[in-house]
Amino acid sequence: MSGRFITIEGGEGAGKSTAQAYIAKKLEQSGHSVVCTREPGGTPLAEAIRHTLLNLEGEAPIEMAELLLVFAARAQHLAKVIEPALEKGQWVICDRFTDATFAYQGAARGLPLEAISKLERLVQGERRPHAVVLMDLSPEIGMARARARGALDRFEQEDIAFYDRVRAGYLSRAKALPAQYSIVDASQRLDAVRQDLSQLIDDWLSHD
């Protein structure tokens, strides 16, 4: 069995972690070895970068520093976790990856998409997700879910306009890459979301 690289994307509180746990459980039940990981993060160094990026204390990174930190974490994560797992034939289910960079640092912060594409080629070579699951949700609902959970991090302090740009950025990526992207309506009840995810999983497994 060959490994597959699946990424889960979406705005704040869209249900990515919930979807990741569900997908991993279903794949394991069908006999696949699964690695669940996240970005920024996934290794001790990359988790330290995550802490720097999300923490409200200390110096806030300027946009370009934020972009480079995200890719520094990604380089480490790819080399130490993602590539070794794929080589072993495992399925890697990653909570966010480079599509988040296009949405957050590109569409929302306004950094040039071409610069992000150059870093993507430099850091990842040809590596791209086999499938991207976009948990699409209005920022109003996502922020309400996140607020209900507790203290907000640096990104969660951004206003709705920022999250409208994030959502538009993701939807425009999905339009440009229809073969790679699947959009799940994350405003549905959890059982309906799970049903949509089950269909996607069946589709992936039928091409295994």
Does residue 9 belong to the site contacting ligand Z5A (CB under 6 A)?
no
Amino acid at 168: A
Among 95, 120, 136, 196, binds ligand Z5A (CB under 6 A): 95
φ, ψ for residue 7 (rounded to 5)? -115, 150
Q: State both tokens at 140.
A: 């109003």
Contact 100, 43 (CB under 8 A): no
Q: DSSP string covering 135-153, please?
A: EE--HHHHHHHHHHHS---
Contact 72, 49 (CB under 8 A): yes
Look at residue 188 and give its three-state secondary structure: coil
Distance, in Å, from the CA atom of 120 to the CA atom of 128, rounded to the nearest integer, reads 9
Report in angstroms how near the CB of residue 75 gets to ligand Z5A at its nearest.
Answer: 12
Does residue 39 belong to the site contacting ligand Z5A (CB under 6 A)?
yes
Contact 24, 8 (CB under 8 A): no
Q: For ligand Z5A, which stretch binds (CB under 6 A), given 28-36, 85-93, 100-108, 173-181?
A: 100-108
Among 149, 175, 176, 202, binds ligand Z5A (CB under 6 A): 149
Does residue 124 belong to the site contacting ligand Z5A (CB under 6 A)?
no
Question: Site map for ligand Z5A, 48-87, x if CB under 6 A?
Answer: ------x---------------x-----------------
Does residue 136 belong to the site contacting ligand Z5A (CB under 6 A)?
no
- Residues within the interface to ligand Z5A (CB under 6 A): 10, 12-18, 38-40, 54, 70, 95-96, 100-101, 104-105, 145-146, 149, 155-156, 186, 190, 193
